[in-house]
Amino acid sequence: MPFRTRITDMLGIEHPIVQGGMQSIGVAELASAVSNAGGLGILTALTQPSPAALAAEIERCRGMTQKPFGVNVTVFPTTMSPDYVGFAKAALDAGVRIFETAGTQAVAEVWEVVKAVPGTVILHKCTAVRHALSAERKGVDIISIDGFECAGHPGEDDIPGLILIPAAADKVKIPMLASGGFGDGRGLVAALALGAEGINMGTRFCATAEAPIHPNVKQKYLENDERGSHLIFRNFHNTARVGKSDVSDEVVRRLKNPDAKFEDVRELVSGVAGKELLQTGDLSKGVFWAGMVQGLIHDIPTCEQLINRIISEADAILDQRLAGFRTGAAGATKAA
């Protein structure tokens, strides 16, 4: 049975499951597969070389699904200066009305452009309650609260989802997605119990048949367990979680030096190297994003199989496991 929440209603989707926007991964094949399975697929704007290329990718995705999908625009805290507003305008002109955003305070320029168009919805990713409240005040529609378990950038507070999600739910009034560490029906039920109205998954969708990732990398997601990630860039207050590999082990080794600089690891962590790794499967080329949820990944299903399984598991937990506990508690009380 489908789960209906404010998020499913706002996004026009069947299941409260959203695919996170991921660099080099959020392309039409994956986004359309997630949307066709009843979730919300996300194209990643900066995976494309230009706003015009993004517009073409949107049309390609529209040819693969008739269901809603969105576009991610992440504003990076670096010296690079992509045309963020240009990407947003290209998506709007192509008819996209759902946007996932993340990044620095400069993302407000993207919000201004998007919110000027009636009927748009902004999902903003945050790693702290204070940031979620700030985004809510500035008019975003949905918060995606990202726990410490997540791949990518978990922030600097180190607050896991079990605390962060309900802490945010206590204060945030708009609908909220739980992100970081989700990959099965147990996680969906937990997220709903903690106060969220859906889940956002990144790493788990990387380990699917439709993800544009070499099989060698997908195999690494299967091999790594819940300990299979490294936190890097802590020295630079730009913490990132990546999968364990010989290369990320070397990055950690080099950054143990208290005087380490980004230049000391640049060739190991560059975006170009990471893209080559995803395409060729040569794990010596760079690092790959991966969350703690690797410990819950044991197969490479299609997106449809994964989403259907999550919903079936969640149904069973609510109808059988949790209901059984309540019955047992009542019986024990009566016997006493």
What tens digit of pLDDT does each residue of 209-268 get?
A: 999 999 999 999 999 999 999 999 999 999 999 999 999 999 999 999 999 999 999 999
For the cut 70, the answer to whether the pLDDT of residue 200 exceeds it is yes
Tokens of 60: 């390609």
Burial of 185 (0-12, 13-18, 19+ CB in 10 A): middle
Strand 121-126 to 98-103 pairing: parallel
Give residue-wise pLDDT tens across range 68-111. 999 999 998 765 689 999 999 999 999 999 999 998 888 999 99
The label of the residue with tokens 């009380």 reads 333
Mean pLDDT of 143-149: 97
Using CA atoms, how far apart are residues 238 and 297, in angstroms rounded to an integer? Answer: 27
Taking the alpha carbons at both ends of the chain, their separation in whole angstroms is 36
Give residue-wise pLDDT tens across range 289-326. 999 999 999 999 999 999 999 999 999 999 999 988 87
Residue among 271, 273, 255 nearest 263 (CA): 255
Mean residue pLDDT of the chain comes to 95
The three-point CA angle 121-123-129 to 5° equals 135
Every domain range in the chain assigned CATH 3.20.20.70: 6-211
Residue among 290, 243, 288, 286 nearest 265 (CA): 286
Please tell me the predicted confidence (pLDDT) of residue 320.
Answer: 92
Residue among 58, 63, 68 nearest 26 (CA): 58
* Yes or no: domain 6-211 corresponds to CATH 3.20.20.70: yes
Using CA atoms, how far apart are residues 185 and 257, in angstroms rounded to an integer? Answer: 41
Alpha helix segments (H runs only) across the chain: 6-11, 28-36, 51-62, 84-93, 108-115, 129-137, 161-169, 185-194, 203-206, 215-223, 246-255, 266-269, 271-280, 303-316, 322-335
